[in-house]
C-alpha cells in the first residue's frame, strides 16, 4: 500500500513542481498593453481583474470584458489609479470600499453595464471623482442622494437610461458640477423639485435632448444661475412649448441655446420674448420646418451674435423679420427657404444687420436678388451662395449692386448655376479679395470687362465651367491677382500669340489643368515673375517638346524663376528637351507622372539642385542611372516612380535599388508598384527584391579584369616570343653581352687566319664538297683556302683539339646543310656548337649556310638549334637546281666569304 501511495503521489509532486516553475512565467506574459502609466486590458474576455500589472499605473482600461463585479481587494493594489474604465461589462453592483482604496480616482466610467439602481452607498467615499459616466445602463430612477458626496464631480453622464425625471437627489449637492448629460431618457416633465439638487451647482451645460418632454415648469431653471448652454435636440416641443421654455429661461445667464429639430413651425413676436433679459449670444433653430418668421420676432435678442436657421421652409423674409439683431455677426440660412413653394425675399430684409460679417445662404434655389436685397449689410465680409441659382443665370452689374456698401472680401458662387458674366458683374465689390465662380455653366469669351472694378482681387476661381475663351485682355483689369484657377473649362486662346496672363506680376498660382491644351506659345507665361505653382496636368502638350516640332521644341516655361511646384502629369510627353527646366532653380515639386517618358536628357535637372518631391510614376522609364538622379535625389523627401517597366539589371537599376534601400525619403507604393519588367528572370519581381550582390564588385572587377587580361595577354605574348623567337633573343643577347664584355675582333681582314673557311659537312656530302667548293681554291684570282677535314686534318693530334684549333684558324665556317648533315651526330653535337660559340664570342657573322636541299627552318632548329633568321641573307646560300645558276652561286659564296665579319 505504502509503495502504491508513493507512486500515486509522485506525479502530483511533479505537477506542483512544474506549476511552481512555470506559472510565474505564464503570468508574466500579461496580455494587457502597457504604455507609460496606462494599462489597456480592453477586449480580452476577462472575468477577473489582472493582478500582475505594474502597481503604479494611473489609468486602467477594463472595458469590453466579462466582469461581473470589481472586487476592491483585487483592484486596491493599484492605488495610484486616476482613471478606471469598466464600461461594456455586466456589472450591476459597485463596492463602496473601492473609492476608499483608490483615493486618487478621478474618472470612473461605468457605461454600458447593468446598473438599474444606484445605491446611496456606492459613491460615498468618491470625494475626488471628477468625471462619472453612468450612461447606457438600465437606471430607471434615483432614490435618495447617491451623488451627494461627489464634491468634486464636474461631469455626470446619465444619458441613455430610463429616467423619467431629472431628479438625482432631494438636496442641493455637487457644488462643482459643470456638465450634466440627461439626453435619451424618458423624461416627460421638467418639475421644479427635480432640479433642487442643482441649486448650488455651477452647472454650465445641460443636455436634455431626445426626451419626450411635454411639460416645463416655469421655475425649473430658477436655481441654475450659471447655466450657459442648454441643448434641446430631436424633441417634439412645438412652438408653444419653446415659448414656455424661453419664458422659463428668463433672466438666466444662458448664452447658447440649441433648439434643433424641435418641431417649431413658426416664429412670432412672442416666441423668444422670454429671452429678453438674457444675454443669449448663440441661437440655433435649424431643422424645424419653420415656414414663417413674423416681424419683430428677434427684437428681444439684442445680444445675439450667432443665429443659425438652416433647413427650414420659410416662405417670406420681410424687412422686419430680422429687426433688432443689431449685434448679429454670423447668420446661417442654408436651405432656409421653402423648397416646395415660391418664396420671396423682400427688399431691405437684411437692413438691420449692421454688424453682420458672415452670411450663408447656401442651397437656396432660385434666389432672386434685387438692387436692394442686401442693402444695409455694412459690415459684411463673407457671403456664401453655394448652390443657389441666381436670377436667370446671368450676373449683371445689378446682381450684387446691393452690396456696394459692404466691405465684402469673399463671395462664394460655387454651383450657382451661372451661365454668363456681363460687363461689370462685380463692379460693386471693389474690396473683394476672393471670388469663387467654380462649378457653374459659364460659357463665354472673357474680354476682361467682367472683372472690372475688382481692384483688390487676389483669387479668381473659374474652374469647372462649360467653356472659356481667353483674350489678351481677359485679366487686364485685375493685376493684383494672386491665384487663378482655370481647370476644366475647355480653355482656348483667342489670340494665341498674345498671352492673356501678361501683367499678372503678383500671380503665384495658375491652374490650367484638364483643358486638353495642345498649343502654347513660348511667351505664354512671360512676366509671371511671382508664379510659384503651375498646374498643367491633363493637357496635350507632348508635341511642344518634341525635337521634330517645326521650329524646334517650345520652351514655354522660360522665365518662371520663382516656380516651386509644377504639375505636368498626363500630357503624353515622350520627349523632354534638355533645356525644358532651365532657369527654374526653385522648383521643388515636379509631377511628370503618367506620361510616355523613356529617356531623360542627362542635363535635364541641372538647374534643380534638389527636389522635395518628384513624381515620375507610370512612364516608360527602364533605368535609373546615378548620373542623372544622384543630385536630384540628394534631398528628396517624397519620390514616386512606381509603375515604370524597370529593367532590373546591374547597369540599369543596381544604383537605384540600393538607394531605395538606404534612403529616408518616403516612397509610396514601394512594395507594390516598383516591379521589374526585364530581364525575364526578374519579370514581375518587386524592385525591393533585386539582388545587387552580383553588381556590387562591378567596378573593382572591371579593373581587375583589365589588369588580368593585359597581364595574361602579355604573358602569352612573351611565351610565344620565347617559344618562337627565343633563340633570336638569346642570340642577340649573347652577342650584345659579349660585345659589351669586350671580346675583341681578332682581325677584320684575316691576316691571322690560315684558312678562309672551315667546311663542316656530313660524310655523305663529301663528294659535293670536293666537286663544288674545293675547286674554288683553283681560282687564282680569289686565292681561297678551305680547311677540308679529309684533306687537311693534322694526323697525330687528338681529333677534338684539332677541330677546335682548325676552326679557330678559319675566318669563316661553312655548313653544308642536307638531311644527312642534320642527322650526323658529330656535326651537330660538337662542331656546330663550337662554331656557334665562336661566332658569338667573336661577334662575327662568321657562319655561312649552304643548303643543298630545301630544309624547313623548324627542322634546322630542331636538329642543330640554328635558324636562318640568325644569319644575314648573304650568308645563306642555296645550291641551285639549274646548272646555269651555279656560277651565280659561286659568285655569292665568294661575296659571303669576303664579307666583313662584323654584325651590321
Ligand X SMILES: *[C@@H]1O[C@H](CO)[C@@H](O)[C@H](O)[C@H]1NC(C)=O
Positions in the binding site for ligand X (CB under 6 A):
239-240, 243, 251, 253, 268-270, 277-279, 282, 284, 296, 306, 308, 330, 386, 397, 412, 414, 423-424, 427, 434, 436, 479-480, 506, 657-658, 661, 690-692
Q: How far apart are CB 670 and ligand X at their closest, in Å?
A: 11
**Cβ 520 to ligand X shortest distance, Å:** 24
Whichever of 465 and 595 has its CB closer to ligand X, that residue is 465
**Minimum distance of ligand X from residue 662's CB (angstroms):** 8
Pick the closer one to ligand X by CB: 485 or 571: 485
Which is closer to ligand X, CB of 459 or CB of 638? 459
For ligand X, give the closer residue by CB, 387 or 789: 387
Report the nearest approach of ligand X to the CB of residue 727 (Å). 57
In angstroms, what is the minimal distance from the CB of 238 to ligand X?
8
Q: Which three cell numbers stand for residue 4?
A: 502504491
Per DSSP, helices labelled H in 113-255 are 238-248
Are 212 and 165 contacting, i.e. CB atoms less than 8 angstroms apart?
Answer: no
Our CB check for ligand X shows the closer of 254 and 769 to be 254
Q: Are 501 and 476 in contact (CB under 8 A)?
A: no
CB nearer ligand X, residue 526 or residue 606: 526
What does 831-869 look like in DSSP terms, one character per residue? IIHHHHHHHHHTTB--EEEEESS---HHHHHHHHS--GG
Shortest Cβ 433–ligand X spacing (Å): 10
- Kindly state the smallest distance separating residue 298's Cβ from ligand X, in Å: 11
Contact 362, 334 (CB under 8 A): yes
Q: With contact defined as beta carbons under 8 Å apart, do 157 and 184 qualify?
A: no
> Is-contact 559 581, C-beta < 8 A?
no
Return the SS3 of 633.
coil
Helix, coil or strand: residue 446: strand
Q: At its nearest, how many Å lie between ligand X and the CB of residue 484? A: 13
C-beta contacts of 210-214 below 8 A and 24+ residues apart: 210/183, 210/184, 210/185, 210/234, 210/235, 211/182, 211/183, 211/184, 211/185, 211/186, 211/187, 211/235, 212/186, 212/187, 212/188, 212/236, 213/187, 213/188, 213/189, 213/237, 213/241, 214/188, 214/189, 214/241
Per the CB < 8 A criterion, the answer to whether 508 and 485 are in contact is no
The nearer residue to ligand X, 690 or 788, going by C-beta atoms, is 690
DSSP assignment of 154-171 equals -EEE--SS--SS--S-SS
CB of 292 to ligand X, least distance (A): 10
Give the nearer residue to ligand X in terms of CB position, either 284 or 447: 284
Nearest distance, CB of residue 460 and ligand X, angstroms: 10
CB of 397 to ligand X, least distance (A): 4
Continuous segment of H or E residues that includes residue 786? strand 786-787
Assess whether the previous peptide bond of 679 is cis (omega < 30° from 0): yes
Taking the least distance from each CB to ligand X, the nearer of 254 and 897 is 254
Q: How far apart are CA 274 and CA 244, in angstroms?
A: 8
Burial code of 616-628, b = ≥16 C-beta within 10 A, e = fewer? bbbbebbbbeeeb
The Cα–Cα gap between 420 and 465 comes to 10
The nearest distance, CB 358 to ligand X, in angstroms, is 8
Please answer whether residues 169 and 198 qualify as being in contact, where contact means their C-beta atoms are separated by less than 8 angstroms: no
Nearest CB to ligand X, comparing residues 179 and 792: 179
Smallest distance from ligand X to CB 637, Å: 20
Judge residue 270's burial from the number of C-beta atoms within 10 Å of its C-beta, 0-12 exposed, 13-18 middle, 19 or more buried: middle
d(Cα 538, Cα 536) in Å, to the nearest integer? 7
Residues 876 and 852 sit within 8 Å (Cβ to Cβ)? no
Measured distance CA(492)–CA(770) in Å, rounded: 115
Chain mean position to CA 15? 58
Q: How far is the CB of 319 from ligand X (least distance, A)?
A: 15
Strand 229-231 to strand 394-395: parallel, antiparallel, or no bridges (unpaired)? Answer: unpaired
Q: Which helix (H) or strand (E) holds 804?
A: helix 799-808
Residues forming beta bridges with residue 225, ordered by sequence position = none
Would you say 230 or 580 has its CB closer to ligand X?
230
What are residue 29's phi and psi, to 5 degrees? -85, 65
Choice between 282 and 549, CB closer to ligand X: 282
CB of 305 to ligand X, least distance (A): 6
586 touches 611 (CB < 8 A)? no
Q: Report the C-alpha gap between 298 and 484 in whole angstroms.
A: 42
Judged by CB, which is closer to ligand X: 500, or 593? Answer: 500
Helix (H, G, I), strand (E, B) or coil at 209: coil
Closer by beta carbon to ligand X, 624 or else 769 = 624
Nearer to ligand X, 453 or 583 (CB): 453
Give me the least distance between CB of 41 and ligand X, in Å please.
36
Q: Tell me the residue number closest to ligand X, measured at CB.
A: 480
When the beta carbons of 326 and 330 are compared against ligand X, the nearer one is 330
Instruction: Give the separation between CA 636 and CA 565, rounded to whole angstroms.
Output: 14
Shortest Å, Cβ 680 to ligand X? 19
C-beta closer to ligand X: residue 573 or 674: 674
Nearest distance from C-beta of residue 569 to ligand X, angstroms: 22
CA-CA distance, 81 to 60, in Å (whole number)? 7
Of the candidates 620, 629, 690, which has an alpha carbon nearest to the alpha carbon of residue 665?
629
* Between 415 and 812, CB nearer to ligand X: 415
Amino acid at each position: 500500500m505504502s509503495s502504491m501511495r508513493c507512486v500515486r503521489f509522485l506525479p502530483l509532486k511533479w505537477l506542483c513542481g512544474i506549476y511552481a516553475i512555470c506559472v510565474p512565467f505564464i503570468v508574466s506574459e500579461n496580455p494587457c498593453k502597457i504604455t507609460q502609466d496606462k494599462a489597456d486590458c480592453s477586449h480580452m474576455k476577462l472575468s477577473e481583474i489582472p493582478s500582475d500589472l505594474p502597481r503604479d499605473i494611473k489609468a486602467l482600461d477594463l472595458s469590453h470584458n466579462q466582469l461581473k463585479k470589481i472586487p476592491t481587494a483585487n483592484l486596491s493594489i493599484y492605488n495610484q489609479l486616476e482613471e478606471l474604465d469598466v464600461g461594456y461589462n455586466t456589472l450591476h453592483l459597485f463596492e463602496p470600499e473601492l473609492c476608499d482604496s483608490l483615493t486618487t480616482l478621478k474618472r470612473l466610467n461605468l457605461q454600458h453595464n447593468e446598473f438599474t439602481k444606484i445605491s446611496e452607498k456606492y459613491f460615498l467615499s468618491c470625494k475626488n471623482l471628477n468625471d462619472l459616466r453612468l450612461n447606457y445602463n438600465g437606471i430607471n430612477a434615483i432614490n435618495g442622494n447617491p451623488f451627494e458626496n461627489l464634491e468634486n464631480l464636474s461631469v455626470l453622464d446619465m444619458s441613455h437610461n430610463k429616467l423619467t425625471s431629472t431628479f438625482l437627489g432631494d438636496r442641493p449637492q455637487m457644488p462643482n458640477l459643470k456638465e450634466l448629460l440627461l439626453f435619451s431618457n424618458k423624461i416627460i416633465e421638467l418639475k421644479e423639485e427635480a432640479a433642487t439638487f442643482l441649486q448650488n451647482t455651477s452647472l454650465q451645460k445641460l443636455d436634455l435632448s431626445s426626451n419626450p418632454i411635454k411639460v416645463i415648469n416655469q421655475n425649473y431653471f430658477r436655481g441654475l444661475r450659471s447655466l450657459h448652454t442648454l441643448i434641446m435636440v430631436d424633441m417634439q416641443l412645438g412652438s408653444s412649448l419653446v415659448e414656455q421654455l424661453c419664458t422659463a429661461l428668463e433672466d438666466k445667464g444662458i448664452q447658447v441655446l440649441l433648439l434643433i429639430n424641435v418641431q417649431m413651425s413658426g416664429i412670432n413676436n412672442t416666441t423668444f420674448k422670454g429671452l429678453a433679459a438674457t444675454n443669449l449670444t448663440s441661437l440655433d433653430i435649424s431643422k424645424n420646418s419653420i415656414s414663417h418668421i413674423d416681424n419683430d420676432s428677434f427684437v428681444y435678442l439684442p445680444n445675439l451674435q450667432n443665429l443659425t436657421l438652416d433647413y427650414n421652409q420659410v416662405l417670406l423674409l420681410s424687412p422686419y423679420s430680422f429687426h433688432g439683431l443689431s449685434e448679429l455677426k454670423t447668420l446661417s440660412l442654408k436651405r432656409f427657404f421653402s423648397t416646395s413653394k415660391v418664396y420671396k425675399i423682400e427688399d431691405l430684409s437684411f437692413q438691420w444687420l449692421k454688424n453682420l460679417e458672415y452670411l450663408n445662404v447656401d442651397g437656396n434655389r432660385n434666389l432672386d436678388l434685387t438692387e436692394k436685397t442686401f442693402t444695409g449689410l455694412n459690415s459684411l465680409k463673407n457671403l456664401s451662395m453655394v448652390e443657389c441659382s441666381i436670377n436667370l443665370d446671368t450676373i449683371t452689374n445689378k446682381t450684387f449692386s446691393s452690396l456696394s456698401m459692404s466691405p465684402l472680401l469673399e463671395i462664394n458662387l460655387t454651383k450657382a448655376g451661372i451661365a454668363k458674366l456681363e460687363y461689370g458683374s462685380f463692379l460693386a465689390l471693389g474690396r473683394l479679395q476672393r471670388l469663387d465662380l467654380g462649378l457653374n455653366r459659364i460659357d463665354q469669351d472673357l474680354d476682361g470687362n467682367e472683372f472690372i472694378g475688382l481692384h483688390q482681387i487676389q483669387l479668381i476661381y473659374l474652374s469647372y465651367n462649360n467653356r472659356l475663351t481667353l483674350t489678351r485682355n481677359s485679366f487686364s483689369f485685375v493685376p493684383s491677382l494672386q491665384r487663378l484657377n482655370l481647370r476644366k473649362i475647355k480653355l482656348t486662346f483667342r489670340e494665341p500669340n498674345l498671352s492673356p496672363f501678361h501683367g499678372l506680376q503678383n500671380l503665384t498660382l495658375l491652374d490650367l489643368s484638364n483643358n486638353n491644351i495642345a498649343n502654347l506659345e513660348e511667351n505664354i507665361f512671360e512676366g509671371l515673375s511671382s508664379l510659384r505653382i503651375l498646374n498643367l496636368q491633363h493637357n496635350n502638350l507632348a508635341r511642344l517638346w518634341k525635337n521634330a516640332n517645326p521650329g524646334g521644341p517650345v520652351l514655354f516655361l522660360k522665365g518662371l524663376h520663382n516656380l516651386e511646384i509644377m504639375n505636368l502629369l498626363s500630357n503624353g510627353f515622350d520627349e523632354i528637351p534638355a533645356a525644358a527646366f532651365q532657369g527654374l532653380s526653385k522648383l521643388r515639386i515636379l509631377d511628370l507622372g503618367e506620361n510616355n517618358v523613356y529617356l531623360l536628357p542627362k542635363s535635364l535637372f541641372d538647374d534643380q539642385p534638389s527636389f522635395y518631391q518628384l513624381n515620375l510614376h507610370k512612364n516608360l522609364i527602364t533605368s535609373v542611372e546615378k548620373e542623372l538622379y544622384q543630385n536630384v535625389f540628394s534631398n528628396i523627401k517624397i519620390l514616386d516612380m512606381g509603375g515604370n517597366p524597370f529593367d532590373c539589371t546591374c547597369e540599369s537599376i543596381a544604383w537605384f535599388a540600393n538607394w531605395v534601400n538606404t534612403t529616408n525619403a518616403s516612397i509610396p507604393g514601394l512594395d507594390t508598384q516598383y516591379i521589374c519588367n526585364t530581364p525575364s528572370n526578374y519579370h514581375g519581381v518587386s524592385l525591393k527584391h533585386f539582388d545587387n550582390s552580383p553588381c556590387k564588385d562591378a567596378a573593382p572587377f572591371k579593373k581587375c579584369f583589365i589588369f588580368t587580361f593585359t597581364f595574361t595577354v602579355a604573358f602569352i605574348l612573351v611565351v610565344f616570343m620565347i617559344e618562337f623567337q627565343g633563340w633570336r633573343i638569346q642570340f642577340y643577347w649573347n652577342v650584345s653581352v659579349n660585345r659589351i664584355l669586350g671580346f675583341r675582333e681578332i682581325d677584320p681582314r684575316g691576316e691571322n687566319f690560315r684558312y678562309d673557311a672551315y667546311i663542316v659537312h656530313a660524310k655523305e656530302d663529301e663528294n659535293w664538297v670536293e666537286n663544288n667548293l674545293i675547286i674554288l681554291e683553283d681560282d687564282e684570282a680569289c686565292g681561297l683556302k678551305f680547311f677540308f677535314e679529309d684533306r687537311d686534318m693534322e694526323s697525330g693530334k687528338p681529333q677534338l683539339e684539332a677541330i677546335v684549333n682548325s676552326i679557330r684558324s678559319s675566318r669563316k665556317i661553312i655548313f653544308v646543310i642536307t638531311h644527312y648533315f642534320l642527322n650526323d651526330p658529330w656535326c651537330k653535337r660538337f662542331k656546330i656548337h663550337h662554331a656557334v660559340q665562336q661566332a658569338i664570342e667573336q661577334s662575327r657573322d662568321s657562319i655561312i649556310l649552304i643548303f643543298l636541299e630545301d630544309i624547313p627552318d623548324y627542322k634546322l632548329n630542331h636538329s642543330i638549334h640554328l635558324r636562318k633568321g640568325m644569319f644575314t641573307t648573304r650568308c645563306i646560300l642555296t645550291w641551285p637546281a639549274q646548272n646555269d645558276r651555279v656560277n651565280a652561286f659561286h659568285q655569292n659564296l665568294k661575296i659571303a666569304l669576303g664579307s666583313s665579319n662584323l654584325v651590321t
